[in-house]
């Protein structure tokens, strides 16, 4: 029996393309398991259900190999454990076809290792690109990440206190705003002998 598995990284992403491909491959909807979880997490109940459901002679079918494992080692270990149980793995849309039900095929083995490696490399490069983009934005004075939600009334009060000579400690006490928020939103006080502890 073929058992389908589909995964997207976030709840906002759509599983439709993977599910359509699995259905087109003739996999019964009752035998398709899904996760809306990052591949970096081990908490993937859909995958665990698919693995428990699989019996000797079954094949786990995924759209692409990177849907299955977190890293090359993780993917290789999973496929090895499945092979020992007599369960195969097949992909539908990878540029190099993977089908571990043919264990003696050198090309199938090569395709599997290469695709797992490329998947991990792409995740690494994506993380590096995101890190570089954050560094460039920070160097340009642009904030990154989630937008801050700060009460404008409290900020206005804080700015008034600052202008009247209150220290950061006094402002945090009176407004309830955190120091980091104040440093982010208030202009720095001009340096001088009376302002060294502000």
By the 8 A CB rule, do 75 and 62 touch? no
What residues does 193 pair with on adjacent strands?
none
Which residues have CB under 8 Å from 92's CB, separation 6+?
Answer: 21, 22, 25, 61, 62, 63, 64
Average pLDDT rounded to a whole number, residues 175-186:
82
Write down the pLDDT at residue 180.
82
Write down the pLDDT at residue 63.
92
Tell me the pLDDT tens digit for each residue of 92-125: 988 777 787 876 666 666 666 766 666 666 667 6
Write down the pLDDT at residue 59.
94
Residue 34 phi, psi dihedral angles, 5° rounding: -135, 155
Q: How far apart are CA 63 and CA 83, in angstroms?
A: 19
Cα–Cα distances in angstroms (integers) from residue 135 to residues 12, 75, 138, 142, in the given order: 26, 32, 5, 10
| Percentage above 70 pLDDT, the chain | 74
Average pLDDT rounded to a whole number, residues 154-159:
84
Tell me the pLDDT tens digit for each residue of 5-61: 999 887 678 889 999 999 999 999 999 999 987 756 667 899 999 999 999 999 999
Helix axes 72-84, 106-139, angle to 10 degrees: 150
Q: How far apart are CA 92 and CA 1, in angstroms?
A: 16
By the 8 A CB rule, do 16 and 41 touch? no
Three-state SS string over the chain comes to CEEEEEEECCCCCCCHHHHHHHHHCCCCHHHEEEEECCCCCCCCHHHHHHHHHCCCCCEEEECCHHHCCCCHHHHHHHHHHHHHCCCEEEECCCCCCCECCCCCCHHHHHHHHHHHHHHHHHHHHHHHHHHHHHHHHHHCCCCCCCCCCCCHHHHHHHHHHHHCCCCHHHHHHHHCCCHHHHHHHCCCCCCCCCCCCC
Residues designated catalytic: 9
Please tell me the pTM assigned to this model: 0.56
Q: How far apart are CA 12 and CA 9, in angstroms?
A: 8
């Amino acid at each position: 029996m073929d058992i389908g598995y589909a995964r997207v990284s976030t709840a906002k992403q759509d599983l439709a393309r993977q599910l359509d491909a699995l259905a087109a491959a003739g996999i019964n909807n009752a035998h398709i398991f899904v996760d809306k979880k990052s591949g970096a997490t081990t908490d993937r109940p859909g995958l665990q259900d698919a693995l428990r459901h699989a019996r000797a002679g079954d094949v786990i079918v995924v759209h692409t190999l990177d849907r299955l494992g977190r890293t090359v080692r993780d993917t290789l270990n999973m496929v090895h454990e499945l092979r020992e149980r007599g369960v195969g793995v097949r992909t539908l849309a990878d540029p190099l076809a993977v089908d571990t039900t043919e264990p003696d095929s050198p090309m199938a083995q090569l395709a599997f290792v290469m695709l797992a490696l490329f998947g991990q490399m792409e995740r690494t490069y994506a993380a590096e690109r995101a890190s570089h983009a954050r560094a460039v934005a920070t160097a340009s004075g642009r904030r990154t990440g989630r937008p801050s939600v700060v009460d404008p009334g409290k900020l206005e009060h804080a700015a008034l206190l600052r202008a009247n000579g209150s220290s950061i400690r006094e402002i945090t006490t009176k407004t309830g705003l955190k120091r980091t928020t104040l440093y982010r939103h208030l202009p720095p006080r001009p340096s001088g002998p009376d302002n060294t502890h502000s």
